[in-house]
């Protein structure tokens, strides 16, 4: 009897922890424009939210992947990027690069080192590009704030003969003196602009 009661307690707390974990992973819909849906969610232990952008693009998955994978042509990413240096590049496998963001006064410019890994599912055609901050490669500069907490991932998968389902997720702590409410507002705008930039780039092909 005591053993059954003990097992019940263990199962109860396991179920409670699982339900809390699932609740923490739920996304909140924020807006939709030009067929791009934007979501955010609060991450445990963080004051800034993570983002998720979803859309379908009328182009084969191979075409979109070729653009996302090409670290030498990134002008569509973000107009505030004023400097880029490729540190390592293994086609369809891995990349490392250094970025400088020119931000409007009075916000101090930011820089960031990124490590990218790529996985390709040869059966489903799904491709994932995962980027995280890279520490200790480029010395920090006195005139900039180094972004040290960064994560962004692209998931692209075939959704028809000439259609690709695109998911962009990520979170970033810009560090330094930026109010959280401004950062959280930018988290909504950033994925929308990035996905829009990708769509425009596809249109140029």
User: For 133-190, what is each residue's pLDDT tens digit?
Assistant: 999 999 999 999 999 999 999 999 999 888 999 999 999 888 877 766 667 667 788 8
Residue at 158 is within a domain: yes
Residue at 191 is within a domain: yes
Which SS3 state, helix, strand or coil, does residue 59 take?
coil
Contact 49, 187 (CB under 8 A): yes
Question: What number is the average pLDDT over the span 118-142?
Answer: 95
DSSP-derived secondary structure letter, 72: T
At 181 the pLDDT is 66
Residue at 6 is within a domain: no
CA distances from 29 to 21, 162, 188 (A): 19, 27, 10
Residue 18 clears pLDDT 70, i.e. is over it: no
Count of the separate structural domains present in the chain: 1
Count of C-beta atoms within a 10 Å radius of residue 102: 12
Residue 106 clears pLDDT 90, i.e. is over it: no
Question: What number is the average pLDDT over the span 102-125?
Answer: 91
Residue at 126 is within a domain: yes
Contact 194, 78 (CB under 8 A): yes
User: What pTM did the predictor assign?
Assistant: 0.82
The pLDDT-based confidence of 35 (bands split at 50, 70, 90) is: very high
Q: How far is CA 79 from the centre of its chain?
A: 17
Residue 4 clears pLDDT 60, i.e. is over it: no
Residue at 110 is within a domain: yes
Residue at 19 is within a domain: no
Q: What is the domain extent for residue 189?
A: 28-204
At 17 the pLDDT is 42
Residue at 140 is within a domain: yes
At 8 the pLDDT is 40
Q: Is the peptide bond before 154 cis (omega within 30 degrees of 0)?
A: no
At 14 the pLDDT is 39
CA distances from 23 to 28, 168, 183, 200 (A): 11, 21, 23, 35
Residue at 2 is within a domain: no
Size (the chain), residues: 205
Contact 182, 65 (CB under 8 A): no
d(CA 86, CA 60): 27
Question: What number is the average pLDDT over the span 115-136?
Answer: 96
CA distances from 93 to 18, 90, 116 (A): 34, 5, 8
Which SS3 state, helix, strand or coil, does residue 130 take?
strand
* CATH assignment at residue 178: 3.30.530.20
At 144 the pLDDT is 93
Mean residue pLDDT of the chain comes to: 84
């Amino acid at each position: 009897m005591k053993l059954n009661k003990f097992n019940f307690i263990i199962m109860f707390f396991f179920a409670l922890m699982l339900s809390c974990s699932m609740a923490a992973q739920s996304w909140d819909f924020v807006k939709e424009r030009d067929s791009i849906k934007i979501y955010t969610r609060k991450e445990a232990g963080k004051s800034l939210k993570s983002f998720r952008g979803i859309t379908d693009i009328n182009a084969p998955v191979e075409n979109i992947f070729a653009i996302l994978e090409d670290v030498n042509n990134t002008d569509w990413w973000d107009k505030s990027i004023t400097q880029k240096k490729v540190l390592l590049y293994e086609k369809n496998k891995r990349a490392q690069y250094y970025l400088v963001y020119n931000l409007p006064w009075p916000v101090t410019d930011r820089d960031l080192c990124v490590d990218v890994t790529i996985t390709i599912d040869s059966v489903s055609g799904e491709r994932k590009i995962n980027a995280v901050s890279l520490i200790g490669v480029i010395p920090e500069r006195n005139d900039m704030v180094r972004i040290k907490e960064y994560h962004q991932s692209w998931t692209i998968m075939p959704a028809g003969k000439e259609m690709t389902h695109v998911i962009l997720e990520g979170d970033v702590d810009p560090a330094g003196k930026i109010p959280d409410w401004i950062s959280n507002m930018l988290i909504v705008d950033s994925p929308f602009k990035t996905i829009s930039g990708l769509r425009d780039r596809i249109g140029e092909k």
